[in-house]
Structure 1
Amino acid sequence: MWDLLALALLLLRFSKKCGLIVLAVVIMMGCSVGVLDWVALAWIAATGVLLLIHAYAKPYRLCSLLTETLLVADAVALMLHLVPGFHNLRLLDGVHVSPDSLPFTLYYNFDKALVPFILLGCLSTLFVTKRHHRVSWQWLLLVAAVPALLWLATLLGGLRAEFHVPEWLPEFTLANIFFVSLAEEALFRGYLQQRLARVAHPAAALVVSALFFGAMHFQGGMMLVLFASLAGMIYGIAWMWSGRLWVAVLFHFGLNLMQLLFFTYPALRHLP
Structure 2
Amino acid sequence: MFYLEQLQHSGIIWLLLAVAIITAFYNSKVSFVALALSLVLAFWLNHISIIGGIIICVGLAVAKLQALTQGKLKLILQTAVVLWMVALAAHLIPGFNNLHVLEQVLTGENSLPFSLYLNLDKPLVFFALLLLIPDMLKQQTLYKPLHNIINKTQFVGLVTLTILGIYALAYGFGLLKFEISTPAWLWVFALNNLIITCVVEEAFFRGFIQTKLANKLKPIWAVLITSCLFGIAHFAGGIAYVFVATIAGALYGLTYLYTGRLTAAIAVHFILNIGHLLLFTYPMAK
Normalised by the length of structure 1, the TM-score is 0.95
Q: Tell me which amino acid in the other structure corresponds to 2:59.
A: T
Q: Which shifted more, 143-152 or 110-119?
A: 143-152
1:9 aligns with one of 11, 21, 39? 21
Q: Which residue of 2 aligns with 1:179?
A: 196
Q: Tell me which amino acid in the other structure corresponds to 2:265.
A: A
Q: Tell me which amino acid in the other structure corresponds to 1:151.
A: A
Q: Segments of 4+ in structure 1 off by > 3 A? A: none
Q: Which residue of 1 aligns with 2:123?
A: 113
2:141 aligns with one of 117, 124, 130? 130
Distance 2:111 2:168 in 1: 16
Distance 1:48 1:152 in 2: 40
1:244 aligns with 2:255: no
Q: Tell me which amino acid in the other structure corresponds to 1:86.
A: F
Give the CA RMSD over aligned residues.
1.2
Q: Which residue of 2 aligns with 1:36?
A: 48
Q: Tell me which amino acid in the other structure corresponds to 1:215.
A: I
Distance 2:64 2:221 in 1: 32
Q: Which shifted more, 174-183 or 43-52?
A: 43-52
Q: Is the contact between residue 64 and residue 132 of structure 2 (CA under 8 Å) also seen in structure 1?
A: no
1:27 aligns with 2:39: yes
SS of 1:93 mapped into structure 2? strand
Q: Which residue of 2 aligns with 1:79?
A: 89
Q: Tell me which amino acid in the other structure corresponds to 1:76.
A: V
Give the superposition deviation at 1:34.
1.3
Normalised by the length of structure 2, the TM-score is 0.90
Q: Is the contact between residue 97 and residue 166 of structure 1 (CA under 8 Å) also seen in structure 2?
A: yes
Distance 2:31 2:160 in 1: 30
Q: Is the contact between residue 252 and residue 265 of structure 2 (CA under 8 Å) also seen in structure 1?
A: yes
Distance 2:45 2:269 in 1: 31
Give the superposition deviation at 1:16.
1.3
Q: Tell me which amino acid in the other structure corresponds to 2:54.
A: A
Distance 2:130 2:236 in 1: 28
Give the superposition deviation at 1:143.
2.3
Distance 2:25 2:45 in 1: 28
- Deviations along 1:217-271, one digit per CA (max 9) or x if unpaired, are 11111111111111101111111111111111111111110010000000011xx
- Structure 2 gaps of 5+ residues are 1-12
Distance 1:120 1:152 in 2: 35
Q: Which shifted more, 188-197 or 154-163?
A: 154-163
Give the superposition deviation at 1:18.
1.0
Matched residue count: 267
